[in-house]
Structure 1
């Protein structure tokens, strides 16, 4: 008998065994016991074949920001299948069940780190974020001066001390995680070694921080967070003052980061990497919560969405804009009731995610055949989507 369900507490050890095999790591008995104590079986979905755990995944409850608004998001992690059960469609069924569970919980978005982008695209997830990896030799570090009266203060590794600055920074991007106390202290800071230093401006306000480690003459920056240019320059001066201890600095930055332009010599290693994928779980709820670009366009938009793996998203939606276009009343039209073709836009659920998260633009998606509709409607949709950079500093 085949069955998909959440795991029971006594089955957590089986899940750990599968993860160790699939992701090729080993835990001691003590580490396994500690991990079991931290696991929530209600987050784990298993595919059981004749009573044996054959495949599993985890749905972690998160929140993320899109256009400054907070959205509930389900993070898919730990997807694994024993080799003897692979290529039997078990992961596809688990993903389908996960989508239903996330919808029931009000999680309108889902993120995951794909082992293969093409695999998860089949099920509606789409690339949504890149980052730039810098490797800066010590002699090329920025030559900035700190503002007079500012200071750097070393603090404990405590998320409560950092979260207000982090959150203000994160809200500027689409797709950053909200870090609650558990994520900060049990999952993020606990797993990384290093020092935290906060930038305090001349007015006594905390406007940035850096979390970094210097080891083997290399500085690895885990978080580099700043709320204004003054804070950025002050933090970089602080890092540069470690020059006698290191030969290089390594860090990630948003895809549109402009640090190289600010430096006296921008010729250093810069590598752009495609990172996570995103999916819209519940299109109607997501569109109703989404913050559009205020522009005074009162005419409705009609959007036909296709979604083979979440049938509740299939259909035609009418978006009636309010508040100068910043919000929309969303109506899913009855089947067979649709506007004239010249007023209708059409796309898949993964195309919609790439558009609304700001990763791709409507004109480009139209040119490559992934967004259908008249040119006028393509332009209107593009104008309705705020321009924000996607970014993610975390991993799960």
Structure 2
């Protein structure tokens, strides 16, 4: 679809699937405002007699996989007409969409599913959700009595966007699973200018950022993702929140899946939640689209032969060798003394992203992994906690 064609095809279909319905005239008028932020997306539709039956888009993003930043296709807006559901149209769109993105050099893909089991059949594995942390600013009082080295900057995101974007790029290079939108999509945050931007600086260098808004006096200071390089940056940002003790009743903030807010301060009364439910709040999912994504990744000293089965994009026999510290893949190589595991795409993706142990895969129906092969895979792919970050 070209830009303007989205106005009458994919946009209305996605709005019906994921928004309140029917749409008012004002909401329909807003569709045109979204076009600049979709200009580089790949959007496909299934059409019959001029009626859109299904649609889906891919956003050309980047993601960190175990320290290597790779092109990633962020799948979004997958929807079907209510009278055309369960007829295979979404499957057709996804196959074509992922074919094209893979051929154009995107070895990874991620999405937020309307039903995880549906996308598991396409080889996707679930990733952990960020945590939502809720506390009262009064409980942060001890931080107000501390002289912390560094300073905090405060401005609207419309003016501070370059600093925010630069820090997310820094996180992209350092954090497993982290992903960022292309520039044309991300600038929507700047253009809407609906958030305050808070930055922590130490010796003039930005070490933490968070955007937020306040809903009302006596209400909630709702912060987005807390991105910090170290505990000092986190303390500086929390100290700023503490100054709102007489303005808001509570603070909510999103944190990475491996963050431990209950340890931030002594006597901090904090609620930490990550709720996965359908529809509406499923955990993100991701998968490998090409084995090229694995070549050269940091790896432990394991050696195993994998037989990849049942997938459109990953298939065949491959020797995975991490004995040099950088993963090598040899297609169709003789196994020698290497043990063999049979994996689905979802199973291999779960190992690559570090979210499952090899011994779990048979229980999920994602492979046959003998004990000796599990030991090798466990060494090659140590458990990691990915943090997807971008919400599409």
* TM bracket (short chain): 0.7 to 0.9
1:23 aligns with 2:18: yes
Partner residue, 1:204: 204
Q: Is the 8 A contact 1:159 1:181 kept in 2?
A: no
**Which deviates the most, 381-390 or 34-43?**
34-43
TM-score of the pair, normalised by structure 2: 0.87
TM-superposition CA deviations, 1:248-274 (whole Å, max 9, x none) = 111121222122123223543221234
| Runs of 5+ unmatched residues, structure 1 | 1-5
Q: Is the 8 A contact 2:131 2:257 kept in 1?
A: yes
- Provide the aligned C-alpha RMSD in A: 2.6
Length, aligned pairs only:
377
Partner residue, 1:103: 102
**Which deviates the most, 249-258 or 172-181?**
172-181
Task: Say if 1:50 and 1:372 are closer, same or farther in 2 by CA, change over 3 A.
Answer: same
SS at match of 2:327: strand
Q: Distance in 2 between matches of 1:266 and 1:307?
A: 49
Alignment of 1:256-267 (within 5 A): 256-267=258-269
SS at match of 2:13: helix
Task: Say if 1:168 and 1:95 are closer, same or farther in 2 by CA, change over 3 A.
Answer: same
Q: Is the 8 A contact 1:13 1:36 kept in 2?
A: no
SS at match of 2:57: strand
Task: Say if 1:364 and 1:87 are closer, same or farther in 2 by CA, change over 3 A.
Answer: closer
TM-superposition CA deviations, 1:190-213 (whole Å, max 9, x none) = 456221121112x22221122111
TM-superposition CA deviations, 1:18-74 (whole Å, max 9, x none) = 233233343635423333455438611111224432111111111111112111111
Q: Distance in 1 between matches of 2:40 and 2:175?
A: 32
Q: Distance in 2 between matches of 1:170 and 1:103?
A: 21
CA shift for structure 1 position 107: 0.8
1:292 to 298, 302, 307: 298
Q: Is the 8 A contact 1:126 1:353 kept in 2?
A: yes
TM-superposition CA deviations, 1:348-380 (whole Å, max 9, x none) = 111111111111222443566644233222112
Alignment of 1:247-258 (within 5 A): 247-258=249-260
| Runs of 5+ unmatched residues, structure 2 | 277-282
Q: Distance in 1 between matches of 2:152 and 2:142?
A: 17
Q: Distance in 2 between matches of 1:165 and 1:37?
A: 23
**Which deviates the most, 138-147 or 17-26?**
138-147
CA shift for structure 1 position 135: 1.4
